[in-house]
Amino acid sequence: MPTNSTRNWEKTGWRNVPGGQMPDWPDRQKFAAAYERLCRLPPLVFAGEARRLKSLLHEACLGKAFVLQAGDCAELFSRCHGPYIRDLLKVILQIAVILTYAGEKRLVNIGRMAGQYAKPRSNSHEKTGDIALPVYRGDMINGLEPTLEARTPDPARMVEGYFCSAATLNLVRAFTNGGFASLDNINAWNLTSFGKFHQNPDYEKLCCDIRKAVNFFHALGNSNLTSIQDSYMYTSHEALLLDYEEAMTRIDTTTGEHYDTSAHMLWIGYRTRQADGAHVEFMRGIRNPIGIKIGPDFSLDELKPLVEALNPENEPGRLSFITRFGNQKIADFLPELIEASKREGMRVVWICDPMHGNTKTDAGGRKTRAFEDILAETRAFFQIHQASGTHPGGIHLELSGTQVAECTGGIFAGDSAQSASFQSACDPRLNAEQGVELAFEIAKLLKSEQIVL
Ligand code: PEP
Ligand code: CO
């Protein structure tokens, strides 16, 4: 039986609706070949897994689980290799351990991984010397190199993106099922970024407490308990390139419903959230859990039609609001948004993205973010939800497992600035130490939330 949202819906229907941020493929024949190939390739995820994630997100709606959604701003084909994926996974798992211990609730681990290859951009062109080149739109569309050839959209990149996503997902599944996520590895992790945090007494205490808890379970002799419970990592990316998402959408034989099998969860970006636009039209028909990025230009009048289109049955776990107002603006916008959603009885997961509202340009013209702003928005998010009686349901981070220096600040700022550089293809990411430090701070917020509850 079609639900309200899938009545009068076809996966190609978005093509008749205005939509931005997508390329005009210059070679239509090449596009048709890539599209047909993608339609025949196996799904990357199962519909059943997406349903399982939806039920975990329902728990987050109720305050019984907490979401960690983290990974690269833009994945690159050239970084689709073992050490890069391992290092990113390692820092995500470290953060997961800290948050699980502190929150005493189920952690829902969702990577911005295995498909985050298409980027929305504010301008269509950029100046390089005297010439204006089309901007980089993500590896699935064009290349980062500043030449006209590389920047021309190439549909074969969608197929390459599929295979890089499959390879990444395969390694993530192998690591998380094959013992890498064992809590015993905390000791090995200590040798790297964890170890340095012993200088801070609060962080040191938390590390000790976690180790004691692991030892306790060991003493009980149950080794099942010492691998991160449900270390299962779900995947997510922005559903921006609808040609790709459409080709990956299949009918689930169990339910007869459409699922986008490119990832477990998809989100609608800040720039493509129009209720009458192509992205919302496409997303209303797939049954995966979906996120909407919400920021300061969002008017409350937009909320109702958007939610009616995407979640007419008010199914809990279906919709997450990923708010990214910026440290300066969150207090002006989030309380009203929460009140409006309460008035309408909306059942949503509230996830804080403290990255995208805090982007600045430094003296060298490079994008950056300050750790202090990221932390301040995160704290405000928790405080506002506490005051409103709603649940802070998760955190959304742009993160690298390598020693980059893209965001400023944090307790090891000095160290990282010397040895590292800006390597992001798009937005500035937290490095592993900044990510772990933020996790320690969120741990405190989760603990104080429990005291209030
Ligand atoms: C992103 O998540 O990388 C992004 C572009 O975010 P937003 O749509 O919130 O600007
Ligand atoms: Co980004």
Domain ranges of the chain: 13-181+227-452, 195-226
Closest atom of ligand 1 to CA, residue 270: 8
pLDDT in tens, 279-312: 999 999 999 999 999 999 999 999 999 999 999 9
Whether ligand 1 lies within 6 angstroms of the CB of 73 is answered as: yes
| Cα–Cα distance for residue pair 100/450, rounded to 1 Å | 13
- The answer to whether the CB of 237 is under 6 A from ligand 1 is no
Mean pLDDT of 331-339: 97
Q: Whose CA is nearest to atom 5 of ligand 1?
A: 120
Residues in CB range of 29: below 8 A, 6 or more apart: none
Look at residue 1 in the predicted model and tell me its pLDDT: 55
Does residue 193 have a pLDDT over 90? no
Query: pLDDT band for position 195 (50/70/90)?
Result: low
Atom of ligand 1 nearest to the CA of 295: 9
Instruction: Report the C-alpha gap between 323 and 295 in whole angstroms.
Output: 6
- Ligand 1 centre to CA of 325 (Å) is 11
Local confidence band at 376 (pLDDT 50, 70, 90 cut-offs):
very high
Q: Round the CA-based radius of gyration of the chain to a whole number and report it.
A: 21
Lowest mean pLDDT among 256-270, 325-339, 419-433: 419-433
Residue 273 vs residues 118, 204, 224, 317: alpha-carbon distances, Å: 16, 43, 42, 19
Beta carbons within 10 angstroms of residue 290's beta carbon? 23
pTM of the full predicted structure? 0.95
Q: Over pLDDT 70: what percentage of the chain? A: 90
102 vs 209: CA distance, rounded Å: 10
Taking the CA of 326 as reference, the closest ligand is 1
Over the stretch 6-34, which tens digit does the pLDDT of each residue have? 668 999 999 999 999 999 999 999 999 99
The pLDDT score that the predictor gives to residue 97 is: 87
Contact 118 CB / ligand 1 (< 6 Å): no
Q: How would DSSP label each residue in 154-184? A: -THHHHHHHHHHHHHHHHHHHHHHTTTTBTT
Atom of ligand 1 nearest to the CA of 271: 8
Read out DSSP for 86-97?
Answer: HHHHHHHHHHHH
Q: What is the Å distance from ligand 1's center to 227 Cα? A: 32
List, for residues 62-73, the tens digit of each pLDDT value.
999 999 999 999
Q: How far apart are CA 304 and CA 311, in angstroms?
A: 10
Whole-number mean pLDDT of the chain? 91
- The answer to whether the CB of 385 is under 6 A from ligand 1 is no
Q: Identify the weakest region by mean pLDDT among 98-102, 158-162, 397-401.
A: 98-102
The answer to whether domain 13-181+227-452 has CATH 3.20.20.70 is yes
* C-alpha–C-alpha distance, residues 44 and 42, integer Å: 6
Whether 416 shows a pLDDT value over 50: the answer reads no
Going by C-alpha positions, the residue among 263, 244, 282 that lies closest to residue 160 is 244
Q: What is the DSSP string of 203-243?
A: HHHHHHHHHHHHHHHHHHT-GGGGB-TT--EEEEEE---HH
Residue with the nearest Cα to atom 2 of ligand 1? 73
- Which atom of ligand 1 lies closest to the CA of 116? 3
pLDDT of the residue at 16: 97
Q: If you measure from the C-alpha of residue 398 to the centroid of ligand 2, how many angstroms do you get, rounded to a whole number?
A: 7
pLDDT-derived band at 453 (thresholds 50, 70, 90) equals very low
